[in-house]
């Protein structure tokens, strides 16, 4: 019986970094499967390789051993077909472009991979900006906006780019707690509507439980997958859910697992 | 309601003292302070020459310089034009070559390590030593002056080009790669706009250096140009004429630099430095 291939398959992947003769093993024997349309979080202390894993999936970094398949092809092939949209920790908005021009950027790059023209997406892009509350800023320049606003645009751009897989590398780390919560809910709403596959790196447990279908807990030195916790909370998720006992139980469970790493 | 009317009628905004308002206006202006400074210097100069009976061969009075300048205005204008286009052509040439080389060197470490020593050599060689050689090679015409101005412009523009192309934000670069952007796309859409502040910064100094280069070229051998005027005037110790030419050169340098600043303001509206402009 042949098991149906998952959308994203990571098989026994290892990654080493060489610096000045010293070899650090960032990832060791990582195996993971991600289904289409799921929201997965990678959580763990610094040095557990979650960013490296994200970049390997996105074809930005090559692994030493193991295989990664994105819908049956290698990450690099998928990247060529613009299957990914990357949201880094600090908003990668070009300061010489307006907000709307930044939103159009994915459609102006690597046009070979485009199946439809950019024109068709124009009003969708504006709608997306409105849904994150920035509809009035389409002609503003990034340096006039706060970090939270810029990051919201980064997210809107990712969802508007047409790519089916979103890779987010601690996108809310640079924001304060209040903004973080607010944007988290906006992300939930956007994802609920567009249903992309999201791989979300974070070190915030509450965020991981609130947003994801599965939380992949990683441990460092070398980076391994400790456990994958299935979050069986109903969708769509909202603020009230955070008060529920089930929610708190998930948080405790994950926190306990993470604590095992540094408690002797 | 009657009360409101009375209140609005009786309300006067606090009257700021006239002296304070004038001071604020003066400090915020970009025209009056420099004008005041130069007028002050000229007045002091004029007084010094008169009071200390300074010889006009040593230091002419500004009034004499002004008279000389206005009398032979078309003469100075003609020579100014020659120096001007030598400097500008040289600047544009140096800028173009530096930009092209910078593009190549930013993308190839091999070429960078190989070509950079040549560029450094061009920078450290005193231009005054090379100028006579250029006259021998290229004659008394415009070409050697243009080349000298180009060489002076070249090195700072090259260094700033490379820095501008390389100093891209890591996140921007990774984002472009995640879209599988080609090297050309990354260059045109990311590196190039990113380098503009660096290029303008270098251009502002290079443009006045070009003027200096053109003048130095003229000193080594020429029949025209403000450098030539200075050289001839010094042969006949006509200090007044020298000053008139020097003033024109100063005006030329300032005008060119301000022109670059004007273009910069238009192009770099998005840059952090734009917050400092009035």
pLDDT score recorded for residue A33: 92
Tokens coding A56: 């390997």
- Whether B176 has its CB under 8 Å from any CB of chain A: the answer is yes
Residues 6 or more apart whose Cβ sits within 8 Å of residue B47 = none
Does the beta carbon of A130 lie under 8 angstroms from any beta carbon of chain B? no
Residues A126-142 pLDDT 10s:
888 988 889 899 999 99
Q: Mean pLDDT for chain A?
A: 88
Residues in chain A, total: 264
User: What CATH number should be reported for the domain whose range is B62-276?
Assistant: 1.10.3720.10
Confidence (pLDDT) at A6? 65
Q: Given CB atoms, is B185 within the 8 Å cutoff of chain A?
A: yes
Contact residues, chain A, for B269 at CB < 8 Å: 141
Is B190–A141 a contact, with Cβ atoms under 8 angstroms apart?
no
Rg (alpha carbons) of chain B, rounded to whole number: 26
Q: How far apart are the first and last CA of chain A?
A: 44
In chain A the domains, ranked by start, together with CATH numbers, are 1-83+164-264 (3.40.50.300), 91-162 (no CATH)
Report the C-alpha gap between B8 and B90 in whole angstroms: 65
Q: Say what the pTM is.
A: 0.84
Chain B neighbours among A 135-154 (CB < 8 Å)?
141, 143
Q: Which of B178, B182, B190 sits opposite A58 (nearest CB)?
A: B178
Query: Which pLDDT score, from 0 to 100, does residue B34 have?
Result: 84
Per-residue pLDDT at A2: 45
Chains A and B: how many Cβ contacts under 8 Å? 63
* B199 reaches A (C-beta below 8 A): no
How much is the pLDDT for A18? 85
What the block records as the tokens of B121 is 């050599």
Cβ within 8 Å, pair A86-B174: yes
pLDDT at A240 over 90: no
Using an 8 Å CB-CB cutoff, list chain B residues near A90.
171
Following DSSP, what letter does each residue of A166-234 receive, concatenated?
EEEESTTTTS-HHHHHHHHHHHHHHHHHH--EEEEEES-HHHHHHH-SEEEEEETTTBEEEEEEE----
Residue A154 pLDDT > 80, yes or no? yes
Which two tokens mark A27? 């990832």
Q: Report residues of chain B scoring pLDDT below 50.
A: 1, 278
Distance, CA of A148 to CA of B264 (rounded, Å): 30
Query: Can you give the pLDDT at residue A119?
Result: 60
Residue spans per domain, chain B? 18-53, 62-276
In angstroms, the CA B93 to CA A31 distance is 58
Structural contact between residues A218 and A257, judged by C-beta atoms closer than 8 angstroms: no
Which chain A residue lies closest to B186 (C-alpha atoms)?
A109
- Chain B positions touching A108 (Cβ under 8 A) are 189
Cis bond before residue A243 (omega within 30° of 0): no
Question: Is the distance from CB of A15 to CB of A190 less than 8 angstroms?
Answer: no
Q: Looking at the complex, does the CB of residue B177 fall below 8 Å from at least one CB of chain A?
A: yes
Q: What's the pLDDT band for A1 if we cut at 50, 70, 90?
A: very low
Q: Is the pLDDT of residue A260 over 50?
A: yes
Q: What is the dihedral of CA B51, B55, B57, B63, to 10 degrees?
A: 30
Tens digit of each residue's pLDDT (9 = 90 or more) over B70-104: 999 999 999 999 999 999 999 999 999 999 999 99
Taking the CA of residue B66 and the nearest CA in chain A, the distance in Å comes to 46
CB B247 within 8 A of CB B77: no
Q: What is the pLDDT of residue B148?
A: 92
User: How long is chain B?
Assistant: 278
Q: pLDDT tens digit string along A32-83? A: 999 999 999 999 988 788 999 999 999 999 988 899 999 889 999 999 999 9
Q: How confident is the model at residue A202 (pLDDT cuts 50, 70, 90)?
A: very high
User: What DSSP string runs through A62-123?
Assistant: --SEEEEEETTB-HHHHHHTT-EEEE-SS----TTS-HHHHHHHHHHS-GGG-SS-GGGGHH
DSSP reduced 3-state for A1: coil
Q: pLDDT digit string (tens) for A81-139?
A: 999 999 998 889 999 999 999 999 999 998 887 766 556 678 888 888 988 889 899 99
pLDDT score at B5? 55
- Is A94 part of the contact surface with chain B (CB cutoff 8 Å)? yes
Of A86, A91, A109, the CB nearest to B189: A109
| Residue B58: strand, helix, or coil | coil
Q: Would you say A59 and A74 are in contact if contact means Cβ atoms under 8 Å apart?
A: yes
């Amino acid at each position: 019986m042949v098991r149906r291939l998952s959308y994203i398959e990571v098989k026994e992947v290892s990654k080493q970094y060489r610096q000045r003769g010293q070899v650090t093993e960032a990832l060791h024997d990582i195996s993971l499967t991600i289904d289409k349309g799921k929201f997965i979080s990678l959580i763990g202390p610094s040095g557990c390789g979650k960013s490296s894993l994200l970049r390997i999936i996105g074809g930005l970094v090559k692994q030493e051993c193991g295989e990664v398949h994105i819908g049956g092809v290698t990450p690099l092939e998928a990247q060529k077909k613009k299957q990914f949209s990357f949201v880094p920790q600090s908003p990668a908005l070009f300061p010489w472009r307006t907000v709307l021009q930044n939103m159009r950027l994915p459609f102006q790059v690597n046009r070979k991979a485009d199946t439809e023209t950019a024109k068709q997406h124009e009003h969708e892009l504006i709608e997306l900006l409105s849904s994150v509350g920035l509809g009035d800023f389409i002609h503003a320049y990034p340096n006039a906006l706060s970090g939270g606003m810029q990051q919201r645009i980064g997210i809107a751009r990712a969802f508007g780019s047409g790519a089916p897989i979103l890779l987010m590398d601690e996108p809310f780390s640079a924001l304060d707690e209040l903004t973080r919560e607010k944007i988290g809910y906006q992300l939930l709403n956007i994802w609920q509507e567009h249903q992309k596959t999201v791989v979300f790196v974070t070190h915030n447990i509450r965020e991981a439980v609130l947003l994801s279908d599965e939380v992949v807990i990683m441990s460092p030195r070398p980076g391994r997958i400790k456990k994958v916790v299935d979050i069986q909370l109903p969708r769509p998720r909202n603020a009230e859910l955070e008060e529920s006992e089930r929610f708190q139980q998930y948080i405790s469970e994950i926190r306990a697992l993470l604590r095992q790493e540094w408690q002797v | 309601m009657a009360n409101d009317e009375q209140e609005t009628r009786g309300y006067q905004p606090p009257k700021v003292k006239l002296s304070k308002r004038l001071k604020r206006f003066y400090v915020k202006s970009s025209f009056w302070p420099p004008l005041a400074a130069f007028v002050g210097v000229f007045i002091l100069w004029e007084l010094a020459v008169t009071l200390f009976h300074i010889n006009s061969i040593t230091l002419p009075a500004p009034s004499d310089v002004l008279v000389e300048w206005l009398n032979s205005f078309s003469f100075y204008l003609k020579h100014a034009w020659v120096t001007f286009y030598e400097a500008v052509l040289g600047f544009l040439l140096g800028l173009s070559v530096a930009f092209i080389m910078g593009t190549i060197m930013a993308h190839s470490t091999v070429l960078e390590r190989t070509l950079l020593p040549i560029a450094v050599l061009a920078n450290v060689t005193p231009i005054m030593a090379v100028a006579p050689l250029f006259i021998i090679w290229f004659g008394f015409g415009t070409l050697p002056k243009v080349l000298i101005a180009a060489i002076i412009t070249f090195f700072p523009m090259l260094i700033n080009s490379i820095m501008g192309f390389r100093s891209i934000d890591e996140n921007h670069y990774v984002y472009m790669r995640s879209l599988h952007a080609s090297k050309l796309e990354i260059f045109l859409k990311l590196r190039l706009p990113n380098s503009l502040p660096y290029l303008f910064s270098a251009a502002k100094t290079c443009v006045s250096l070009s003027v200096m280069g053109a003048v130095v070229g003229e000193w080594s051998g020429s029949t025209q140009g403000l450098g030539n005027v200075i050289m001839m005037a010094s042969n006949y110790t006509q200090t007044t004429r020298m000053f008139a030419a020097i003033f024109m050169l100063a005006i030329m340098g300032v005008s060119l630099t301000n022109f670059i600043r004007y273009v910069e303001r238009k192009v770099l509206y998005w840059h952090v430095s734009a917050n400092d402009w009035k």
